Amino acid sequence: MFTFFKKKKAEDIKRTGKDSAISSDALLEGNLEGSKEEEVMTELSFHPSWNLPKEKEYVFRFLNNDLDPLKPNQISLAGVDLERENDAIQVTAFLRNSLQKEIGLGTVELLLLDEDQTLIASKEFDLSELGKIPAESSRPWMFVFEKNTIQKEQIPAEGWSLAFNVTSMQPNRLELEDSWEQQLPQEDKEQLKALVSNLPKPKPKEINLMGIQARFNENGDLSTTILIRNGNHKSLSIQQLPLQVFDAEQELVAQGAFSLNDLTVNANTSKPWTFVFPKDMVKKEKPDLSKWSVRPVQNS
């Protein structure tokens, strides 16, 4: 199962990955009691179903003893080995718990990063498969990133890390441009915050558009306010955005392309923006805007 077992001696196996620790508050809810010690050395813990030969247990103990201590109240992923197996990337790491109580985790997106924190691969893993992680312990596991989860083909020899995508676990939040922050009445800001908090969270890597308001100006232009929602773990910079507006009958109302001068929508945020379609971009007179939608123009 673990590719580094192909090497002859435990002494020949060196960790090529780094530690990536976060506060347990980011993953767990409830009353969490940290360790009384300033630093915590985590003891090796195998999954209850594992039955490893003594020589393989020794390898894991050798690797675990090489780990740095954790601070109280932390959960960590300590990278051990990174190998490409056919079209997949196999990552061996310790999931570590410095709390004085056992923990159980659910589905979490993990990020495989190189030394420069550039994304190599990302995937959601059901960490309940690891079982309960005892207090102040380290549990070895292998995480497999299939071809469709890999963003970067070249894998580093060392300096990489496996990290929790903490952003994906937090609620999507409202983000306003400075001009909106300064000019928008507080009541309108609160309404937008409530709207964003009540919407279903975008899926990881999903970017979608939601229409908030559409009305015709006296000169026949169509003014729309649209929420740009970023479910990605990194910021989105938009230079141009071609849009189509559809009415309640799903008929095309307006179409046009907008230059946005690198409008930035930060990770896991939703940003409102106003798009005005001049009269010559309007395709339908007297549309039913009681229910309308907006979508980017699909390339043919």
pLDDT beyond 80 at 13: no
pLDDT beyond 60 at 226: yes
Question: Mean pLDDT lowest for which of 6-15, 168-177, 256-265?
Answer: 6-15
What are 148's two structure tokens? 């469709």
What number of other Cβ atoms are within 10 A of residue 78's Cβ?
Answer: 26
Question: Which of 176, 4, 190, 179 lies closest to 82, judged by CA?
Answer: 4
Question: Mean pLDDT lowest for which of 36-45, 89-98, 148-157, 246-255?
Answer: 36-45
- The pLDDT score that the predictor gives to residue 40 is 93
Contact 42, 72 (CB under 8 A): no
Task: Tell me the three state secondary structure of residue 182.
Answer: helix
- The pLDDT score that the predictor gives to residue 238 is 94
How far apart CA 21 and CA 171 sit, in angstroms, is 21
- The pLDDT score that the predictor gives to residue 166 is 79
- The pLDDT score that the predictor gives to residue 35 is 46
Per-chain mean pLDDT for the chain: 89
CATH of segment(s) 173-296:
2.60.40
List the domain boundaries for the chain: 3-169, 173-296
pLDDT beyond 60 at 123: yes
What DSSP element (H or E) covers 62?
helix 54-65
pTM: 0.65
